[in-house]
Amino acid sequence: MNIVGIIPSRMASTRFPSKPLAKIDGIPMVGHVYYRSKMSQMLDEVYIATCDNEIIQYAERIGAKAVGTMDTHERASDRTAEAMIKIEHEINKTVDIVVMIQGDEPMIVPEMVDMAVGPLINDTGVLVSNLMAPLHNRDEHADSNEVKVVVDKNSYALYFSREPIPSWKMGAKEVPMNKQICIIPFRREFLIKFNELSQTSLEKAESIDMLRVLEHGYDVKMVSTNYKTYSVDTIDDLHRVENLMENDSLIREYKMRI
């Protein structure tokens, strides 16, 4: 199977402008995501998809493959789909699975990518999957920047929300609290189908792409991981992640090759 990783990235983040090039240990954040994704055993290649020349120029400096995309995309999945089609034309080969890896996840480890892809390899009925990891305290549970997910007994998503679900206040203290980690493998045809589907009311209300999948009657397979990672949505997040990555062994590994 031809499996590629695509990192959608743009400078015009509303919460943290120029976020992709914000440095962690001297390396722009999108660079961390790229280097770590490249270590995955599942991916044949990794691309950075962007509408910004600054990011393209950075990708070229580090030898990463970059795909220029339109600047009108509202969703990362739209940018990923456009990039996938351009990649197919470039390599003259159809992509079987595309793994959308958000550019604000600098703490990911390559095994997380492999875990996320696993269900699509093992079950042809799985169209899209996603990682989830435990929330560790009430503050994380209440943080609207953390997308929460609840699942059924077969680990299919029931709902995603920025609100604290399940309800701690109503007595769900013993129910696992999980957050979404934005490593999202799609089967090629389903990514195209997904972007043809109309945006939905819950997707807009929560600003969560995966709700479009659920509202149109499709399933999202969730894969549990215990790797402790944090995304970067704000300057404070950047400082927290930089502190947590201070002794990161993977950074030492790819810094040697820069």
Residue 49 is assigned to a structural domain of this protein: yes
In a domain, residue 196? The reply is yes
Q: Is residue 63 part of a domain?
A: yes
User: Is 235 within the bounds of a domain?
Assistant: no
The predicted pLDDT at position 182 comes to 93
- On whether residue 238 sits in a domain, the answer given is no
Which pLDDT does position 13 carry in this prediction?
Answer: 77
User: Is there a domain that residue 205 lies in?
Assistant: yes
Residue 125 belongs to domain spanning = 3-230+243-255
DSSP 161-197: ESS--S-TTTT-TTS--EEEESEEEEEHHHHHHHHHS
Closest CA to 48 of 39, 40, 60: 60
d(Cα 164, Cα 142) in Å, to the nearest integer?
5
Per-residue model confidence (pLDDT) at position 242: 96
How much is the pLDDT for 176? 81
The total domain count for the chain is 1
**Residues 80/51, Cβ–Cβ less than 8 Å:** no
Q: Which pLDDT score, from 0 to 100, does residue 17 have?
A: 86
> With a cut of 50, which residues of the chain have pLDDT below it?
none
Find the CATH number of the domain harbouring 251. Answer: 3.90.550.10
Residue 185 resides in a domain: yes
**In this predicted structure, what is the pLDDT of residue 120?**
98
Q: Kindly state whether residue 237 falls inside one of the protein's structural domains.
A: no
